[in-house]
Amino acid sequence: MSSGSGFGDEKGGSSSVGEPEYGHDPASGGIFSSDYKRHDDLKEMLDSNKDSLKLEAMKRIVAMIARGKNASDLFPAVVKNVACKNIEVKKLVYVYLVRYAEEQQDLALLSISTFQRGLKDPNQLIRASALRVLSSIRVTIIVPIMMLAIKEAASDMSPYVRKTAAHAIPKLYSLDPEQKDQLIEVIEKLLADKTTLVAGSVVMAFEEVCPERIDLIHKNYRKLCNLLIDVEEWGQVVIINMLTRYARTQFLNPNVNESLLEESGEKAFYGSDDEEGKEEKAEAAALAKRKPYVMDPDHRLLLRNTKPLLQSRNAAVVMAVAQLYFHLAPKAEVGVIAKALVRLMRSHSEVQYVVLQNVATMTIKRRGMFEPYLKSFYIRSTDPTQIKILKLEVLTNLANETNISTILREFQTYIKSMDKDFVAATIQAIGRCATNIGEVRDTCLNGLVQLLSNRDELVVAESVVVIKKLLQMQPEQHSDIIKHMAKLTDNIQVPMARASILWLIGEYCEHVPKIAPDVLRKMAKTFTNEEDIVKLQIINLAAKLYLTNSKQTKLLTQYVLNLAKYDQNYDIRDRARFIRQLIVPTDKSGALSKYAKKLFLALKPAPVLESPFKDRDHFQLGSLSHLLNAKAGGYQELPDWPETAPDPSVRNVEVKDSVPEWTKCSSREKRKEKKVEKPFYSDSEEESGPTESADSGNQSNQCWLSFHVLSKQNYTRVFLTRICCLIKQSLLSGAEEKNRAQKVKGRRSGSESESEEEEESESESSRSESESESESESDTDAKKKKKAPVTKPPPKQAKKESKKEKKEMSLLDLDDLIYRSFKILPSVTLHSFPQLSRLHLLKSPLLTTSCPTIAPSGSVKTYELLHRITGEGLGVEYCFSRQPFSPDAHMVAVQIMFTNNTNAETKNLHVEDPKLQSGMRIKEFPEIELLPPGEMVTVVMGIDFCDSTQAANFQLCTHIRKFFVSIQPPVGELMMPVFMTENEFKKEQGQLMGMNEISEKLTLGEKCQNEHGIVQRVTSAANVSRVPCGSDKECRFAGKTVSSGILVLVTVATKEERAAQLTVNCEKMVIGTMLVKDILQALTQ
């Protein structure tokens, strides 16, 4: 009777109220006689009126449960107290109930009504806990009650209760899988919940009940991505794992292009003329695939929103993000996870164990990622053996030609370790390095041979086994090693090593003709005392020698075979019989014996020393199945990428929802409201300027206007108000404007197409939104600007030269902004902007005069991307507009102007196949569907140059041709202006001294001796802004690089005559030196 001993050691009741009696030696119990009495005692206490006695009794009962003692016979007495007023007693009763309800189903039903009452309680904690307990009672009769309760709780107003409902779903499902359909309905409802509290729990329920219903996720995908950062950490893990699977079914493989590039290149060479019929199909398929890879914005959203979670303190979250990146991110971006994973290695050894397993798998596929962290995997003598062996695995995977010498040196110290299992693993690791890296094979082999004289037998044995494998690769050159090993047979006792030596000698007996028979002689002597594997190898050796050197070894072989014939092990007896028939020719022996030599001495393929982690990545990383390398129950296979992406529009949430949002954020007052609604983190996002909002995904798309208004950079604000004016005017006084526009258009280029009518109607749809937009404010603003005196008119000559160009440029800038504004309105397409640009032309004088002081975009240089002759009539120019590129703040905006000089239409202009340096990224412009002859169109694309002046190469495709083009940025365009005060400037400069400072003396050019000239030259050479300065001898400028935001400070100090000194302070020396060169040139000319 198991319960008996449980009560034995409980001390008498009321003497120790308030203190659970537990910490007593179990051996002291076992007074069987008092068992029943004690039961009665507890029952009595439970029946009493005093809460304190009840509590004491419950505490003792729970203590019994905790120790695994049976307390089920108290069930009736305990259940009576389920409605007890004392909350602690109640809780403990719940604990008891949940534990024993399954065993006492009928009695458990007594308690149900209490919970049903609890479900209606005004206190949300009580509602939630009633549901929790009710759903935890594993009694099938109450399934309908549970179902009802869950459904009701799913629409409770308290998110905490809804969360509990989500938790209850898998409980009910495991109790009665028949309820699946109804439960899925509840899950669907809860998935639509917008609170972070519920998100994690409901996804958990989804994973347990219906992981195959991926269609339920579509509508909630974006919401989940955006909520992710605010969800509690455990929920994050579940959501990320689920989204990984989701993304694998919905998006295209981002790395597909790399593998395809090579393939298609080959095709172009070989598969040109012949075999047309057969290849046609394949080529068609390849063509379909060759369509440029554009990452689905939703795919990007997922990657972007999970990245910050790499900084989580929870190892499981970090691992989840790491596996997501490993499985979903483009190759170039996977690298970011390495640092975070290496950080986890500092954690508890269990965490290390799991992380190292995953790192080992990753290093096979993407070795480069972890190479910089090689030293983090060095082994410490205090590491547990299992960690050491995993680290060794990682080190071996990371070994390549450049680092092998350091790794081998490290291995050398490991061999001296006291931990012999680890030493054995190290020797194997050396063997694997030797096979993988040809250059060090001899070094390794020599090192291993030295180990043969080690005193520890295990070490020697392991070396022998590894040497055997290595020698198999090139036996000819190493007969001396084989001889050396033959000598070892006298000393080594480890069976595996002896067997390996014997096999080696047998296999290469022709290289050691003198020693081999002698070894056989020795082995024959000790045959009876050997282990089985050694015996088998002795027979093997005998057979091989008999075939090659029968004169010397015939008798020995006979002797060995006879010994084997009477061995205890039947394997050995069988082998002996079999070999005798094969090699000793008798009249009965068949044709086989003729081929005996071929059978035994066939060339055997060298073994491949492979990592045990190879191919483990077909399991989702971070999963239990991956760790065990075996499918665990309930594991959801990671699907392969689809060939073509399923319809992305399924993730669109109804337009109805998105439009109000746009209007909401376009007016200032309402935007404030919105801010209040937002979750905790997003709040601070908005405040911190343009860089942030670009990161925050969808939100930035919804309200770029608000972010521009908010942004501290004045010039965008000016542009913005102007645009607002323009849009408004153009739309309100449509006809009049149109006429004027026509005039201007006529002046500019004779033959622009006449498609205003439809454009007008299209843009009309945006009127309602734009009207409300800061009307009065922008008006007054605009007037102010008009009146504002132009403080620094540019020198006349320069103005003349660049006048026309300048005009165009500022217009184009506007285009850019307007284009972005319209991207959000679904009904407006690209067609609408030629017209808009014409409208702005009217206002251009105003713009150009008011702008230079604020935005130093005075003289923008245009570069040629494609000459119209090489482009067969298509001329393409580009320039750096110096505007922030709103979809991604780390990108440089490049404006591209297409001119169609042919007589035919050019269609489908788009970018294909970007070939970029690692880290560089391109955001293509949207495809231009049609470019009529003689027309000109301007688009903006973003390139992240990673702060280098490396060119970005890509293909420009029309519907008929492809052109290889490249954009190389001057160093000055890799930065953007930063506004700072003189003091800030000095402070920053103080931190960037020494190596980070580059100074150059120069003589100023004739035309830029005054301050104004210098400012103009510098700002045209680099996208920096002027820093206000007290002294007139110095001009200061500040900027930061676009990609990584590193400060660039420029100082020009003028001296007597035309001498001056230029100083550039920048952390990146390359950028600094290049910038000095460029500015120097600009100033001296």
Partner 1 sequence: MIHSLFLVNSSGDIFLEKHWKSVVSRSVCDYFFEAQERASEPENVPPVIPTPHHYLISVLRHRIYFVAVIQSEVPPLFVIEFLHRVVDTFQDYFGLCTEAAIKDNVVVVYELLEEMLDNGFPLATESNILKELIKPPTILRTVVNTITGSTNVGEQLPTGQLSVVPWRRTGVKYTNNEAYFDVVEEIDAIIDKSGSTITAEIQGVIDACVKLTGMPDLTLSFMNPRLLDDVSFHPCVRFKRWEAERILSFIPPDGNFRLLSYHVSSQNLVAIPVYVKHNITFREGSSQGRFELTLGPKQTMGKAVESVLVSSQLPRGVLNANLNASQGTYTFDPVTKLLTWDVGKINPQKLPSLKGSMSLQAGASKPDENPTIIIQFKIQQMAISGLKVNRLDMYGEKYKPFKGIKYMTKAGKFQVRT
Residues 252-291 that bind partner 1 (CB under 8 A): none
The alpha carbons of the chain give a radius of gyration, in whole angstroms, of 40
> Dihedrals φ, ψ of 803, to 5°?
-60, -50
- Burial (CB count within 10 angstroms: exposed 0-12, middle 13-18, buried 19+), residue 584: middle
- Closest to partner 1 by CB, 378 or 559: 378
Q: How far is the CB of 251 from partner 1 (least distance, A)?
A: 22
CA dihedral over 738, 741, 746, 749, signed as positive or negative: negative
Name the one range near partner 1 by CB under 8 A: 117-125, 468-476, 865-873, 1028-1036.
Answer: 117-125
* Identity of the amino acid at 591: A
- CA atoms of 600 and 547, how far apart (whole Å): 9
The C-alpha torsion from 688 through 690 and 696 to 699, rounded to 10°, is 110
Q: Near partner 1 by CB under 8 A, which window of 39-47, 676-684, 928-936, 1057-1065?
A: 676-684
- H helical segments located in 210-275: 221-227, 233-250, 256-270
The one among 281, 346, 598, 604 contacting partner 1 by CB under 8 A? 346
Draw the binding track, 520-539, toward partner 1 (x: CB under 8 A; -: no contact): --------------------
Which helix (H) or strand (E) is 838 found in, with range? helix 832-850
In the shown chain, the binding pattern of residues 79 to 108 toward partner 1, with x for contact by CB under 8 A and - for none, equals -------xxx--xx-xx---x--x------
Which CB sits closer to partner 1, 319 or 931? 319
> Residue for token digits 């120069």?
1002
d(CA 627, CA 353) in angstroms, rounded, equals 10
Q: Which of 48, 117, 125, 733 binds partner 1 (CB under 8 A)?
A: 125
Q: Which of residues 605-644 bind partner 1 (CB under 8 A)?
A: 622-625, 627-628, 630, 632-636
Cα 372 → chain centroid: 18
Q: Which of residues 425-464 bind partner 1 (CB under 8 A)?
A: 454-456
Choosing from 241, 883, 899, 996, the residue that interacts with partner 1 (CB under 8 A) is 241
- Closest contact distance (angstroms) between CB of 664 and partner 1 is 21
DSSP designation for 378: P
Q: Using the 8-state DSSP alphabet, how is residue 244 labeled?
A: H
CB of 301 to partner 1, least distance (A): 16
Nearer to partner 1, 351 or 609 (CB): 351
As measured in angstroms, the least distance from the Cβ of 26 to partner 1 is: 9
List the one residue from 340, 398, 481, 828 that touches partner 1 (CB under 8 A): 340
- Name the DSSP letter for residue 824: T
Piece of 4-12, 162-170, 265-273, 1036-1044 that binds partner 1 (CB under 8 A) = 162-170
Write the binding mask 166 to 185 for partner 1: x where contact by CB under 8 A, - elsewhere: -xx-xx--x-----------
Q: Give whichever of 129 and 948 is closer to partner 1, judged by the CB atom.
A: 129
The one among 11, 37, 67, 743 contacting partner 1 by CB under 8 A? 67
Span from 60-68, 505-513, 593-601, 1030-1038 in contact with partner 1 (CB under 8 A): 60-68
Nearer to partner 1 by C-beta: 287 or 632?
Answer: 632
519 contacts 538 by C-beta, under 8 angstroms:
no
Answer yes or no whether residue 245 interacts with partner 1 by CB under 8 A.
no
Which phi and psi angles does 1051 have, rounded to 5°?
A: -130, 130
Query: Looking at beta carbons only, is 275 or 421 nearer to partner 1?
Result: 421
Question: Torsion-angle region of residue 511: left (phi > 0), alpha (psi -120 to 50) or beta?
Answer: alpha
Name the amino acid, one letter, at 771.
E
Q: Is residue 136 part of the contact set for partner 1 (CB under 8 A)? A: yes
Query: For 110-138, what is the HEC assignment?
Result: HHHHHHHHHCCCCCHHHHHHHHHHHHHCC
**Shortest Å distance, C-beta 216 to partner 1:** 19
Instruction: Identify which range of 343-351, 520-528, 842-850, 879-887 contacts partner 1 by CB under 8 A.
Output: 343-351
565 near partner 1, rule: CB under 8 A: no
Residue with Cβ nearer partner 1 (635 or 963): 635
Q: Name which of residues 891 to 950 contact partner 1 (CB under 8 A).
A: none
Minimum Å gap between C-beta 750 and partner 1 is 49
Q: Is 422 helix (H, G, I), strand (E, B) or coil?
A: helix
Which run of H or E residues covers position 894? strand 892-900
> Among 73, 121, 258, 350, which residue sits at the site for partner 1 (rule: CB under 8 A)?
350
Among 685, 752, 756, 973, binds partner 1 (CB under 8 A): 685
Only segment of 7-15, 153-161, 248-256, 754-762 that touches partner 1 (CB under 8 A): 153-161
Q: Which residue has the tokens 């190879």?
A: 614
Residues between 364 and 383 that touch partner 1 (CB under 8 A):
375-376, 378, 380-382
State the minimum distance, in angstroms, from the CB of residue 423 to partner 1: 9
Residue from 281, 348, 656, 804 in contact with partner 1 (CB under 8 A): 348
Q: Please, what is the minimum distance in Å from the beta carbon of residue 1076 to partner 1? A: 23
Contact 375, 410 (CB under 8 A): no
Site residue total, partner 1 (CB under 8 A): 114
Classify the phi-psi angles of 92: left when phi > 0, otherwise alpha if psi is within -120 to 50, otherwise beta.
Answer: alpha
User: Judged by CB, which is closer to partner 1: 51, or 775?
Assistant: 51
Transcribe 50-91 into DSSP letters: -HHHHHHHHHHHHHHHHTT---GGGHHHHHGGGG-S-HHHHH
Question: Token pair for residue 440?
Answer: 């060090």
Give the chain's largest Cα–Cα span.
Answer: 120
Long-range residue pairs from 710-716, CB within 8 A, at least 24 positions apart, any chain: 710/686, 712/979, 713/884, 713/979, 714/854, 715/851, 715/854, 715/855, 716/884
Distance CA 314, CA 343 (A): 11
DSSP class of residue 653? P
Given 11, 12, 14, 17, the residue binding partner 1 (CB under 8 A): 17
Q: Is 23 in the site for partner 1 (CB under 8 A)?
A: yes
- CA separation for the pair 979, 991 (Å, rounded): 18
The answer to whether residues 241 and 320 touch, using CB atoms and an 8 Å cutoff, is: yes
| Beta carbons within 10 angstroms of residue 690's beta carbon | 21
Nearer of residues 632 and 788 to partner 1, judged by Cβ? 632
Nearer to partner 1, 342 or 496 (CB): 342
Closer to partner 1 by CB, 383 or 927: give it: 383
| Window 732 to 761, contacts with partner 1 (CB under 8 A) | none
Q: Which of 84, 303, 315, 1075 binds partner 1 (CB under 8 A)?
A: 315
Restricting to residues 195-224, which ones interact with partner 1 according to CB under 8 A? 197, 201, 204
Q: Which is nearer to partner 1, 18 or 277 (CB)?
A: 18
Query: Toward partner 1, which CB reaches closer, 252 or 356?
Result: 356
Residue 94 or 898: the one with the smaller Cβ distance to partner 1 is 94
Residues 291-310 that bind partner 1 (CB under 8 A): 308
Residue 314 in the binding site for partner 1 (CB under 8 A): yes
Instruction: Round to whole Å and give the CA distance between 988 and 1040.
Output: 12
Q: Which of residues 847-886 bind partner 1 (CB under 8 A)?
A: none
Which one among 11, 12, 14, 19 touches partner 1, defined by CB under 8 A?
19
Beta carbons within 10 angstroms of residue 576's beta carbon: 23
CB of 881 to partner 1, least distance (A): 24
The distance of closest approach from Cβ of residue 885 to partner 1 in the complex, given in angstroms and rounded to an integer, is 17
According to DSSP, the residues that pair with 1066 across neighbouring strands are 1048
Rounded distance between C-alpha atoms, residue 58 and residue 940, angstroms: 72
Please answer whether residues 164 and 131 qualify as being in contact, where contact means their C-beta atoms are separated by less than 8 angstroms.
yes
How many beta carbons lie within 10 A of that of residue 117, not counting itself?
12
